[in-house]
Amino acid sequence: MKRFSAVVALVMFAGVGVFAQGKVDEGKAAYALHKCSTCHAIGGAGGKLASSLDGVGTKLKVADIKKWLEDPAAMEAKLDKKPKMAMSAAASFKTKKITPAEIDAMTAYLATLK
Ligand code: HEC
């Protein structure tokens, strides 16, 4: 019985891992779909209008990454130096239709950038 539970636990653990990887891949796809790279670079690829997202998974808490995607205007308001309207994520997000599922997936993806 003990061995059985260990196997069950192992399978569940592996399952969660696969699920999490799927989410990260979805996040990568959503990041491309919504053209986040117009302003942000990852690994040197992308725009320079906003900060590079390299290491953002270390810099920001997961909750804050999510907040940047849910309510960029509120997050931008907290910056010492406000971005110009032309490079404001808040202004740009209004024209994109980002779903809550995409926000979750992109958060999972960005959190892996350490
Ligand atoms: C029109 C330009 C623009 C686009 C497009 C854009 N952002 Fe941003 N983003 C900004 C600006 C400006 C900031 C705040 C200042 C900074 O970090 O450079 C910011 C900040 C962030 C931050 C916080 C970064 C940090 O280091 O604190 C994250 C995370 C982020 N954006 C993710 C995204 C994602 C994901 C997308 C695509 C859905 C996206 N952004 C699209 C301009 C943009």
Could you give the 3-state DSSP secondary structure of residue 41?
strand
- Cβ 29 under 6 angstroms from ligand 1: no
Give the mean model confidence (pLDDT) for residues 84-103: 75
Res. 112 pLDDT band, cuts 50 70 90: very high
**Burial group, residue 37, by CB count within 10 angstroms (0-12, 13-18, 19+):** middle
Per-residue pLDDT tens for 12-70? 566 666 667 899 999 999 999 999 998 899 999 999 888 999 999 999 999 999 999 98
| Whether the Cβ atoms of residue 37 and residue 46 lie closer than 8 Å to each other | yes
pLDDT value at position 95?
Answer: 67
Among 63, 65, 21, 61, smallest CA distance to 40 is for: 65
Look at ligand 1, atom 33, and give the residue with the nearest C-alpha. Answer: 36
Total-model pTM: 0.85
Locate the domains of the chain by residue range: 22-111
| Cα→Cα distances 19→13, 77, 86, 92, Å | 10, 34, 37, 30
